[in-house]
């Protein structure tokens, strides 16, 4: 079957299709947009990607993304250093920060326990977490891992490890989304919403 477009365009399409959430049609829209607009748009994108790959690394303290040794949150002296939220990925920090309700610090595990996928504690940032708890004045650890099997397993495992430190451990409440209908909620979510109810 003859090729319908130049090989360089196909090569770029193939690269975009490798990105998460980008299918053939989305890749095609992006590539054609880049081709049909000023070259400066493509150049800015290429420069931004190169700069991110060269300059962004993991924070030496919490494993969030950072441009300096510490990420902006760890470097912020106004944060409450007595509270630590443990999350799976850096993107989870972004989600929590958008709520503007948490002013503590974070620790990124780099994933969640999943024996079926060969991910154990040694593949996660568990040892640095334990060292951090031993050396700081953290009084509460909040487990903000995903409310799925892997997230629950990870939170339970870490809670057992942290217990000897005498540090309070809590789990994010999970329940019904705002604007949702009860009839569409699954049993686990609805059950948790009932268990985590609060006085009004």
Q: Tens of pLDDT along 75-117?
A: 999 999 999 999 999 999 999 999 889 999 999 999 999 988 9
Mean pLDDT of 7-17: 95
Residue 37 pLDDT class (50, 70, 90 cuts): very high
Average pLDDT for residues 33-62, to the nearest whole number? 96
Torsion over CA: 139, 146, 111, 66 (sign): negative
Distance between CA atoms of residues 95 and 87, nearest Å: 11
What is the pTM for the complete model shown? 0.84
Q: Mean pLDDT, the chain, as a whole number? A: 90
Q: Is the pLDDT of residue 200 over 60?
A: no
Dihedrals φ, ψ of 85, to 5°?
Answer: -95, 125
- In this predicted structure, the answer to whether residue 1 has a pLDDT above a threshold of 50 is no
Q: What angle do CA 136, 154, 150 make, to 5 degrees?
A: 150
Interval 166-189 mean pLDDT: 79
Strands 65-66 and 57-58, by their bridges, are: antiparallel
Residue 147 contacts residue 196 (beta carbons within 8 Å): no
């Amino acid at each position: 079957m003859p090729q319908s477009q130049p090989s360089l365009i196909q090569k770029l399409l193939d690269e975009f299709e490798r990105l998460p959430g980008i299918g053939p049609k989305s890749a095609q829209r992006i590539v054609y947009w880049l081709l049909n607009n000023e070259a400066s748009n493509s150049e800015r994108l290429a420069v931004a990607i190169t700069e991110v790959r060269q300059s962004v690394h993991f924070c030496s303290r919490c494993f969030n993304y950072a441009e300096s040794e510490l990420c902006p949150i760890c470097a912020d002296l106004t944060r409450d250093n007595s509270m630590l939220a443990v999350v799976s990925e850096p993107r989870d920090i972004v989600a929590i920060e958008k709520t503007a309700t948490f002013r503590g610090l974070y620790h990124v595990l780099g994933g969640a326990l999943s024996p079926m996928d060969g991910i154990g504690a040694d593949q996660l940032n568990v040892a640095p977490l334990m060292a951090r708890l031993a050396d700081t004045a953290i009084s509460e650890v909040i487990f903000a891992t995903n409310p799925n099997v892997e997230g629950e397993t990870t939170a339970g495992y870490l809670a057992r490890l942290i217990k000897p430190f005498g540090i309070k451990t809590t789990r994010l409440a999970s329940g019904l989304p705002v604007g949702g209908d009860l009839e569409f909620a699954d049993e686990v979510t609805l059950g948790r919403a009932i268990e985590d109810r609060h006085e009004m």
